[in-house]
Amino acid sequence: MGLSWQNFGDFWPCFAQLEQVALALASAPRQSRGPGDLRRHFALCFEDGSGPMKVTLERAALLKSLGHVHRVVERRNTIPILANVLLQAANGQLVLKATDLDLEVTETVPADIGQAGATTLPAHVLYDIVRKLPDGAQVSLELTGEAGQLLLRSGRSRFNLQSLPESDFPDLNAGDLSHRFALAAGDLKKLIEKTQFAISTEETRYYLNGIYVHTTDVDGHVMLRAVATDGHRLARVEIPAPAGSAGMPGIIIPRKAVAEVLKLVEDANAEVAVELSTTKIRFTFGDVVLTSKLIDGTFPDYARVIPANNDKRLVIDCAPFAAAVDRVSTISSERGRAVKLALTDGRLTLSVTNPDSGSATEEIEVDYDSGPLEIGFNARYLLDITSQLDSDTALFKLADAGSPTLIQDRDGAAALYVLMPMRV
């Protein structure tokens, strides 16, 4: 490439330093001079290939973007580059990217680019610095002539940060994404919020460590369905399938990915673009793009555990019921947290017995006209499910003390929950 006035400035910092090297060489003993001195200087100037990057942008814009991407970075990393966020400055924009090799978040923000370039900086350190700067501040990021150094300036504050070359930063290549569709952010939030709590945390059953998403036919209508279970409870919710989603493969989105997607939903009316294959999924929220690997496993046939013939119907007011469960479970052991429900005509008695703490009971009026029934549930699981119901009442469909119970807002509701009983 020929040197022109347009790119001459890119190399000027190195030429200025070469003058100092030349002076040093001139004053050094002749026998100590050698071509290696110049080679070492050029290596210092160009070793990361990023050039003298210089960027200025608003603190608020940088903080918001860092808030989105830095959460992906684990606090403890055995691979140093994974602790960093990639910064790429060009064409009036600053692109920030972070990854843990399974999940990648990229965001683009407007910026004043004094000089294009790229580097990587410690994600959590950078986020904490920008967070502590005053509102309305301008932030300047500039690579210095020293290898691995970036100068961050804002007002009277100066930070010299250690960087790593952007060439070392991994790229989570999404490959060919075969299915594409769009849906309202509010619908995506609903699918996640109403199922996320039931995701298993047992690593041995890795195929339960996420939300299973697929399309299915319900009474002649194609629905997009999300399911999660940990073996003790199951959550299932569905919405009308967006155009383009029909025929998509059944996929399991990992727990960390769905948590990050939920945090990126800021406007329920905004549109989210979804692209997926059998191995990866990508969500695009305006200037923010989240790409994640999918869990490579087979989700169990959940339909087999959803009871279809539970004939005992219990209708309760959610708020009083949840408050009563919370009160009586205060003395339950952390290990068991079991609460017994004793049902008779129009009355529900909640009771907990703990040999170390004592016992507690509370009665509430309910709509129930079947035979007497005693059944135990995990109090925490009951509260998790009732908190997800949209209506003021909940419908419990029960069979017996040893069979799973079906919980909904009402018959035919979009969200459905199954809870396994406990022995009490």
Model confidence at 227: pLDDT above 50: yes
Q: Please, which pLDDT band fits residue 148 given cuts at 50, 70 and 90?
A: confident
Please state, for a pLDDT cut of 70, what percent of the chain lies above it. Answer: 87
Q: Which two tokens stand for residue 365?
A: 């009026």
**pLDDT, greater one: 9 or 138:** 138
With tokens 């369905």, the residue in question is: 225
pLDDT of residue 335: 67
pLDDT of residue 35: 45
Please state, for a pLDDT cut of 90, what percent of the chain lies above it. Answer: 76
pLDDT of residue 336: 66
Nearest to 115 by CA among 12, 15, 3: 12
**What is the reported pTM?**
0.84
The string of pLDDT tens digits covering residues 3-55 is 444 443 444 344 434 444 343 444 444 444 444 444 444 333 333 434 579 99
Average pLDDT rounded to a whole number, residues 204-226:
95
Average pLDDT rounded to a whole number, residues 155-179:
91
pLDDT of residue 418: 97
pLDDT of residue 20: 40
Average pLDDT rounded to a whole number, residues 203-216:
96
Domains of the chain, each with CATH number or no CATH:
54-168 (3.10.150.10), 179-302 (3.10.150.10), 306-419 (3.10.150.10)
The string of pLDDT tens digits covering residues 353-397 is 988 889 999 999 999 999 999 999 999 999 999 999 999 999 999
Q: Please, which pLDDT band fits residue 168 given cuts at 50, 70 and 90?
A: very high
pLDDT of residue 26: 43
Mean pLDDT of the chain: 87
The string of pLDDT tens digits covering residues 301-353 is 999 999 999 999 999 999 999 999 999 999 987 766 899 999 999 999 999 99
**pLDDT, greater one: 220 or 9:** 220
pLDDT of residue 334: 73
Q: Please, which pLDDT band fits residue 188 given cuts at 50, 70 and 90?
A: very high
Model confidence at 136: pLDDT above 50: yes
The string of pLDDT tens digits covering residues 246-304 is 889 999 999 999 999 999 998 889 999 999 999 999 999 999 999 999 999 999 999 99
Average pLDDT rounded to a whole number, residues 99-121:
96
Model confidence at 89: pLDDT above 80: yes
pLDDT of residue 424: 75
Average pLDDT rounded to a whole number, residues 125-136:
96
